[in-house]
Chain A
Amino acid sequence: MSDAVLPAIERPRAQPMGESGLVKGLLIGTALLFLTAFLFLPLITVFLEGFRKGADVFFDSFSDPDTMAAVKLTLLVAAIAVPFNALVGIAASWAIAKFNFAGKNLLLTLIDLPFSISPVISGLVYVLLFSAHGWLGPWLIANDIEIIFAVPGIVLATVFVTFPFVARELIPLMQSQGTSEEEAALTLGASGFHTFLRVTLPNIKWALLYGVLLCNARAMGEFGAVSVVSGHIRGLTNTMPLHIEILYNEYNFVAAFAVATLLAGLALLTLVAKSFLEWRYAGELAASHRH
């Protein structure tokens, strides 16, 4: 996945295999057709549905307190889960890429776990742990701590599901960069922290940003795991994706698609931010990769 941050200018300009114009056109045409049919059209549909009954109805959808609560909850969950996963992701990637230790492969596998199991199961794991009859349930009840069917449970499930994004971006990059720049910095007398700040971090910042953006998009959009632990209490434990489903099931299609538009808009904004940064810093990016 990390090659997504590589700048386009690195790619060879010449046609490597010299395909004929027809083949080239056919390939490009197929790709465009696919993108239009499977990505662009559905997205347009979301926007059109949202505005089907006019802009007034669209904006009215957001005056509903339950909808606002869902938007706020989604932002809150992302605001906790994303920085947490960025920090832990950096630490885990650092440990895996720069050191050799027993159990390293196990750790690598564990990092992939949230990707490889269904989000529903991720949610059920937390139900097993924290529900009234779960392992920790009786203790939590005795101490009056609410986790499942409350905001902490939603945050936990989101953290779990979105954990791999940052680490998965960083590990291959840090492994390919090796440890010699850090070793050079250390022999030059830099402290460990100084080395991290001035050498490691600048080298991974694009991959880190990319991972954080993906992590954020998923944190705001996660449905399965959150649905299992949410309890679906209107105005309290419904995130935007859950609220969209509820609105849809209440035949409130305009409101459902209005919220969906907001969610899709946030995702698009994320991608635009990423593209802008890549374009703005293309030179620096190229310099740091052509080495």
Chain B
Amino acid sequence: MLIPSRRKLTLGAAALALALSFGPALADKTLLNVSYDPTREFYKEFNEAFAADWKAKKGEVVTINQSHGGSGKQARAVIDGLDADVVTLALAGDIDQIANKTDKLPKDWASKLPHNSAPYTSTIVFLVRKGNPKGIKDWGDLAKEGVAVITPNPKTSGGARWNYLAAWAWAEKAFGGDETKVKQYIADLYRNVPVLDTGARGSTTTFAQRGIGDVFISWENEAFLVQKEFGADNFDIIVPSLSIKAEPPVAVVEGVAKAKGNEEVAKAYLEFLYSPAGQKLAAKHFFRPVDEAAADPADLARFPKLELVSIDTDFGGWAAAQKKHFADGGVFDEIYRPTN
């Protein structure tokens, strides 16, 4: 009889310990960074670097918690009350949403940090199977018959909007601004998409892990990552003649950070992204640093030079692009008819 009762005691103690271990962490400061999908690997390393730097400068232990997901979905969660101290999302439009729907962010958040609050940029490239069996060279090839294109849904994915706009920019140039032809081209391209995932990571898995599709329109950093994870001898990166300069922005969610007493550390965290150490790490994880001098030249050499259009000068900013292309009843709704 002694043994079972002792076991009961141990179980009880274990349950108690379990319950207690969910108490508040003992770190001096805890930051929550709500980010989008392809930044997981980068922020994992960056957070360690920042924590070490902060400890050295202030003697304070800071723990950074990460939440990743589709950029639009993450913005929604912050609006609904996810206690993010900082947001590091795929596009300015998503942070605008938070500023519009809550009073946690000032409307002019983009002016708080250099380069429109985008400490690194990226662009859109193509990932194809080894040897490029379909002979994909530029955007025009994606609309050809018999080419299966993988890209996420621009209604839900930030990355997918960049993909769409890059294709649009190329077509506008190629067809001399004839919008009917441009629309026809975009319609043909999306007719070639067999699986429209909701987020960038989902599309990556579809293409790389499940082996569906001939070409994957991808974030540049995601394309490099696939080569690294799945082997460079399985995939080739194709750089189109023209692409778009994607600027994933960052911002302190001031309302939350202030309430948690994290204003100073949150600001320092984002500023550290612009520091030589932060820029170097960004380049290492395949994001194009805004300060190239800080990056490892070997890392920089991986980024091909190509003509880049900008959302602000070529599309009149995110708000205008969103309204014209992606809002309900916009151009995307007009041209995209799921086939199957």
Docked CA distance A253–B205 (Å): 11
**Residue among A137, A250, A253 with the most chain B CB within 10 A?**
A250
Give the nearest-CB partner of A68 in chain B. B21
Q: Is the CB of B81 within 8 A of A131?
A: yes
Docked CA distance A134–B79 (Å): 11
B15 at the interface (CB under 8 A from A): yes
Give the nearest-CB partner of B104 in chain A. A132
Q: Is the CB of A234 within 8 A of B77?
A: no
**CB neighbors of A among B175-231 (8 A):** 201-202, 205, 209, 225, 229-230
Q: Is the CB of B68 within 8 A of A246?
A: yes
A232 at the interface (CB under 8 A from B): yes
Closest-CB distance, A82 to chain B (whole angstroms): 13
Give the nearest-CB partner of A72 in chain B. B18
- Given A76-B19, A248-B205, the answer on whether A233 and B80 have CB atoms closer than 8 Å is no
Q: Is the CB of A137 within 8 A of B81?
A: yes
Residues in chain B near residue A233, CB distance under 8 A? 32, 65-67
Closest-CB distance, A6 to chain B (whole angstroms): 31
Residues in chain B near residue A148, CB distance under 8 A? 80-81
Residues in chain A near residue B41, CB distance under 8 A? 250
Q: Is the CB of B37 within 8 A of A127?
A: no
A282 at the interface (CB under 8 A from B): no
The bracket for how many chain A residues form the interface is: 20 to 34
Residues in chain A near residue B82, CB distance under 8 A? 149, 231
B267 at the interface (CB under 8 A from A): no
Q: Is the CB of A249 within 8 A of B37?
A: yes
B325 at the interface (CB under 8 A from A): no
Docked CA distance A15–B79 (Å): 63
B155 at the interface (CB under 8 A from A): no
A35 at the interface (CB under 8 A from B): no
Q: Is the CB of A236 within 8 A of B65?
A: yes
Docked CA distance A250–B68 (Å): 11
Residues in chain A near residue B209, CB distance under 8 A? 253
Q: Is the CB of A149 within 8 A of B18?
A: no
Docked CA distance A233–B67 (Å): 4
Q: Is the CB of B40 within 8 A of A250?
A: yes
Docked CA distance A75–B15 (Å): 9
Give the nearest-CB partner of A124 in chain B. B80
B241 at the interface (CB under 8 A from A): no
A99 at the interface (CB under 8 A from B): no
Q: Is the CB of B229 within 8 A of A76?
A: no
The bracket for how many chain B residues form the interface is: 20 to 34
Instruction: Report the tally of A-B residue pairs with Cβ distances under 8 A.
Output: 63
Q: Is the CB of A149 within 8 A of B22?
A: no
Docked CA distance A131–B102 (Å): 12
Closest-CB distance, B255 to chain A (whole angstroms): 10
B159 at the interface (CB under 8 A from A): no
A121 at the interface (CB under 8 A from B): no
* Cβ proximity bits B108-125 to A, threshold 8 Å, 1 near / 0 not: 000000000000000000
* Cβ proximity bits B71-94 to A, threshold 8 Å, 1 near / 0 not: 000000101111100000000000
Q: Is the CB of B15 within 8 A of A79?
A: yes
Docked CA distance A235–B37 (Å): 17
B278 at the interface (CB under 8 A from A): no
Residues in chain A near residue B83, CB distance under 8 A? 146, 149
Residue of A132, A137, A234, A249 near B205 (CB, 8 A) is A249
Closest-CB distance, B103 to chain A (whole angstroms): 11
B69 at the interface (CB under 8 A from A): yes
Closest-CB distance, B254 to chain A (whole angstroms): 15
Residues in chain B near residue A137, CB distance under 8 A? 81
Give the nearest-CB partner of B80 in chain A. A131
Residues in chain A near residue B65, CB distance under 8 A? 233-236
Give the nearest-CB partner of B21 in chain A. A72
Docked CA distance A235–B64 (Å): 10
Closest-CB distance, B340 to chain A (whole angstroms): 22
**CB neighbors of A among B127-184 (8 A):** none
Docked CA distance A132–B82 (Å): 8
Q: Is the CB of B18 within 8 A of A132?
A: no
* Cβ proximity bits A232-261 to B, threshold 8 Å, 1 near / 0 not: 111110000000001011110100000000
Q: Is the CB of A231 within 8 A of B205?
A: no
Closest-CB distance, A84 to chain B (whole angstroms): 15
Give the nearest-CB partner of A232 in chain B. B67
Docked CA distance A141–B229 (Å): 42
* Cβ proximity bits A130-173 to B, threshold 8 Å, 1 near / 0 not: 11111001000100001011010000000000000000000000
Q: Is the CB of B68 within 8 A of A149?
A: no
* Cβ proximity bits A7-39 to B, threshold 8 Å, 1 near / 0 not: 000000000000000000000000000000000
Residues in chain A near residue B225, CB distance under 8 A? 251
Q: Is the CB of B80 within 8 A of A133?
A: yes
- Given A127-B80, A249-B201, A250-B41, the answer on whether A232 and B32 have CB atoms closer than 8 Å is no
Q: Is the CB of B81 within 8 A of A149?
A: yes
Give the nearest-CB partner of A153 in chain B. B81
Residues in chain B near residue A134, CB distance under 8 A? 80
Which 8 pairs between the two chains have the least Cβ-Cβ distance? A132-B81, A131-B80, A251-B229, A149-B82, A232-B67, A231-B82, A249-B201, A131-B81
**Complex A-B: 29 CB contacts under 8 Å:** A72-B18, A73-B22, A76-B19, A79-B15, A79-B18, A131-B80, A132-B80, A132-B81, A132-B102, A148-B80, A148-B81, A149-B80, A149-B82, A149-B83, A232-B69, A233-B65, A234-B65, A234-B66, A234-B67, A235-B65, A246-B68, A249-B40, A249-B68, A249-B201, A249-B202, A249-B205, A251-B225, A251-B229, A251-B230
